[in-house]
Amino acid sequence: MIAEGYATADTLSQALGYPVIAAFDSGNLPKVAQDLHHKYPHKPIVIAGDDDHHLESTLSKNPGKEKALEAAALVNGSAVFPVFAPSERDSKKLNDFNDLANKSALGIEAVKRQVDWLLKNISAG
């Protein structure tokens, strides 16, 4: 699993109980994913992306989501994005799994549920 930032990687590692790689910037996600895929070609790669929805109105783009999807596509991997409680995402400007764990009413259990669901589907497929 690869996350955009350090805090998100740390949160995911704590929630899931295994190491998570931090790319430190959305622009690094494709390169980090490709490097990891090259080193471990038979391991599935999951990108835990930020959903920079708050930038869509000003920049007309969502760099966190776009780069996470690009990285996943480059390595035939998967991308997962946090889902917040209704109205939380916009009212609190939440956008990543660290926010989900620490600023959302849903908390760290939501991180576990949302990411575990994807991981179980990958391993079952």
At 48 the pLDDT is: 97
Q: Which fold has domain 2-124?
A: Dna Topoisomerase Vi A Subunit; Chain: A, domain 2 (3.40.1360)
Q: What is the mean pLDDT of each run of 10 residues along the chain (125 residues)?
A: 97 94 97 97 95 87 96 97 86 90 95 90 70
Where do runs of H (alpha helix) occur along 6-106? 6-16, 29-39, 56-59, 63-74, 88-91, 97-102
At 84 the pLDDT is: 93
At 58 the pLDDT is: 87
47, 75, 87 from 28: Cα distances, Å:
12, 14, 30
At 119 the pLDDT is: 83
At 124 the pLDDT is: 62
At 125 the pLDDT is: 57
20, 50, 79 from 7: Cα distances, Å:
11, 12, 18
**What is the side-by-side strand order in the sheet with 78-80?**
21-22, 2-3, 46-48, 78-80
Contact of 79 with 71, CB cutoff 8 Å: yes
Nearest-angstrom CA–CA distance, 61 and 89:
17
Contact of 25 with 58, CB cutoff 8 Å: no
Domain boundaries, the chain: 2-124
